[in-house]
Amino acid sequence: MAAMARHLITSAIPYINGIKHLGNLVGSQLPADLYARYLRARSHEVLFLCATDEHGTPAELAAAKAGKPVAEYCAEMHDVQAGIARGFALSFDHFGRSSSPQNHRLTQHFAHRLKEAGLIREVTEHQMYSVADGRFLPDRYIEGTCPNCGFESARGDQCDNCTKQLDPTDLINPRSVISGSTELELRETKHLYLRQSAMRGQLEQWILSKTEPTGEIRNGVEMIRTTWPILTTSIALKWLRDGEGLQDRGITRDLDWGIPVKDGDADWPGMEGKVFYVWFDAPIEYIACAQEWVDAGKGTDWERWWRTDKGADDVRYTQFMGKDNVPFHTLSFPATILGSGEPWKLVDYIKSFNYLNYDGGQFSTSRGRGVFMDQALAILPSDYWRWWLLSHAPETSDAEFTWENFQASVNKDLADVLGNFVSRITKFCRSKFGEVVPEGGAYGDQEQALIADLTARVAAYQAQMDAIEVRKAAAELRAIWVAGNEYLQSAAPWTTFKTDPAVAAMQVRLGLNLIRFYAVLSAAFIPDASAGLMAAMQTDDWSWPDDVAGALQALPPGHAFNVPEVTFRKITDEERADWQTRFAGIRA
C-alpha cells in the first residue's frame, strides 16, 4: 500500500439561503465526507473543508423577508447549517463562511493580482435601477409582460412561458419583483470583468492535462480518455470550446452585502460602494477557509495545504460538487488561480454528481417538494440517509429517490443484513457463553476460506473507495456484510454447540470479531452506527484491517462486550405512507 499521503478535500459550499435538500447533500457534502473519513481511516493526513456561501441578492432578500439585517441573518443561518451538518456527521475540519474577514482579504488580494496581470477590464454598462428599492436589480428580479407571447410574469432574463431569452428592457410594463414598483430606470454603472477569454489556452492546456489520447482518430478528431469523470471533463470542454467559447465575466455588483471591491488593501477608484460578485469570492473561500481553520486554533499551517512553494506540491486536492457547479470549478476558479501568477494549489481531481430526483420529479425548494436535511434528521437517524444516498449516489446519471426503494433498501441492507448479523451472533453468544468472547477451538477450512474471501473483498472495497466509486464501494461493503451471514449460516454454531462446544466457541469468537471488523470498514458510510457497535464491543481499536486474519483476532478470548440495542430498526409501511404524503409538496 502507498505511503501516507496528504489529501485536501473540499465540498461545494452550500448557499446560505435556506436548508438544503437531500439532492444537494448527496451531490457534494456527503460523498466528500465519505472520502475524507475513508482516507483518515487509512491513516492519511486529511484537511476537509466546507463553508457557507453567503453573498448575493438572494441572501439580502431572504434576510429582508426574515426582517433581519443580512449579516445577522447569515450568521444565524450559518449556525443552522452547521448544526444540520453535525447531525449528518459531516466531519469537516472546518466549516467556514465566505463572509469571513479572511475571505475579504484574500478575495481583494486576488483581484489585485489579476489587475496587475492585466486580466481585469472595466466595463461601463446600463442596468435597471429601482428607485423604490434604492438598488440595481439583477435581470431575474425584474418581471413584466413578455413581448413575444404576452405572458404577464416573464422574467428579465427569460420568459418562463415561451422560454424566449429576454433583456429586461424588452419587457412590457416592467416591475421590481422585490417591491412591485414600476419606477424603474436604466442607469449607467461600471463593473469589472475578468478576462477569462485571455486565459482560454492556459485553461484548455490544464484541462487536457487531465486526459490522455487514446491514439484513435475519428472524423479527424483525436479521441481522448479522461482521468476525471467524463461528466466533469465534458462539461469543462463544452464551455471552453462551444459556441462563442469562454466569455469574460463580470466579477462585481452594485450591492451592499458582499466583499467591497478593493485593489488589495488599496481603494479601487471608481468602484466605491460596489462589491465582488458572489461567484468570484465563493471559491476563494476554499482557501480562506483553511486560514479560518488556523485562526480558529484547529490547525497551525494552512499554506502547506494551499501553496505549492510551501509544501502543498505533494498534496492531492479533490473537489466534490453537483454538475451545475462544474464550470465554476473547471474554468472560473482556475482562471482566478492561474491568473494570479502565484503558486496556489490547483485541484487534482473533480468528482461531480448528477441530480437526485424525487419520486418522478425534481426536488423543489420553492414548492416544498422532497425531503430537506432538517426534516430527514427529524424522522430517522442520519446513517439511514447516509447509507441510502451514498449507495444510490447519482454518479453516472440522474438517480431516483422513491420511498418504496428507500424503505426496502434500508430495511434489507441495514436492518436485515448488517443489524441482524450483529443481533444473532451477540445474542447467541450471550445465551451459550455469556457476554464475553469465548475461548477455545481452532480455525478449520471454513474459517480460512472466509478470511481469503474477505481479504479479496476488502481489497476490492479499497479499490472502489480509492477511485471514489461511491455506489460500487457501497455494493462491495454490503457484500462484505453478507459474507458474515453466509459464514454463520454454514458454520452453524447453534448446531456445532451441541456436539463440540469448543468449535462453536471459535465460530462465535470469529463472529464477534466480525462485528468490530464491520464497524471499522463501515464507519465512512455509517459513522454513528459504527461507533455504537464499537462501544458495544467495548473496544476503541479502529485500526484498518490491512491484515484480515489479524484483524479478526482483535477481540481476544475473555474480552467482555454488551449485546447492543437494535442497531437499525425497520421502517414500517405506515411510516413510509405517512412520509410519502407529508413530503409530496404541492404538485404542479
Partner RNA sequence: GGCGGCGUAGCUCAGUUGGUUAGAGCAGCGGAAUCAUAAUCCGCGUGUCCGGGGUUCAAGUCCCUGCGCCGCCA
Interface residue list for RNA (CB under 7 A): 157-158, 163, 165, 214, 216, 218, 225, 234, 238-239, 242-244, 246-247, 249, 323-324, 327, 355, 362, 392, 394-400, 402, 404-405, 408, 412, 415-420, 422-425, 427-428, 431, 471-472, 475, 482, 485-486, 488-490, 492, 494-495, 566-570
**What burial class does residue 254 get, using C-beta atoms within 10 Å of its C-beta: 0-12 exposed, 13-18 middle, 19+ buried?**
middle
> Least distance (Å) from RNA to the CB of residue 392?
5
Query: Is 59:19 a contact under the CB 8 Å cutoff?
Result: no
CB nearer to RNA: pick between 254 and 263: 254
**CA–CA distance, 338 with 114 (Å, rounded to integer):** 9
CA distances from 580 to 193, 216, 364, 382 (A): 47, 50, 15, 18
Q: Are strands 275-276 and 252-253 parallel, antiparallel or unpaired?
A: antiparallel
Query: Is 416:423 a contact under the CB 8 Å cutoff?
Result: no
Q: Under the phi-then-psi rule, with left for phi > 0, alpha for psi from -120 to 50, and beta for the rest, what region is 141?
A: alpha
CB nearer to RNA: pick between 127 and 308: 127
Write out the three cell numbers for 548. Answer: 484480515
CB nearer to RNA: pick between 18 and 299: 18
**CA–CA distance, 194 with 252 (Å, rounded to integer):** 10
- Spatial neighbors of 10 by CB under 8 A, at least 6 apart, are 32, 48, 49, 50, 286, 289, 317, 318, 319, 320
> Least distance (Å) from RNA to the CB of residue 478?
7
CB nearer to RNA: pick between 459 and 566: 566
> Least distance (Å) from RNA to the CB of residue 408?
4
CB nearer to RNA: pick between 45 and 398: 398
Query: Is 176:142 a contact under the CB 8 Å cutoff?
Result: yes
Query: Is 412:476 a contact under the CB 8 Å cutoff?
Result: no
> Least distance (Å) from RNA to the CB of residue 415?
4
> Least distance (Å) from RNA to the CB of residue 143?
16
CB nearer to RNA: pick between 82 and 515: 515
Write out the three cell numbers for 252. Answer: 462585481
CB nearer to RNA: pick between 560 and 566: 566
> Least distance (Å) from RNA to the CB of residue 314?
29
> Least distance (Å) from RNA to the CB of residue 156?
11
Radius of gyration of the chain from its Cα atoms, rounded to whole angstroms: 28
> Least distance (Å) from RNA to the CB of residue 482?
4
**CA–CA distance, 129 with 163 (Å, rounded to integer):** 24
CB nearer to RNA: pick between 36 and 166: 166
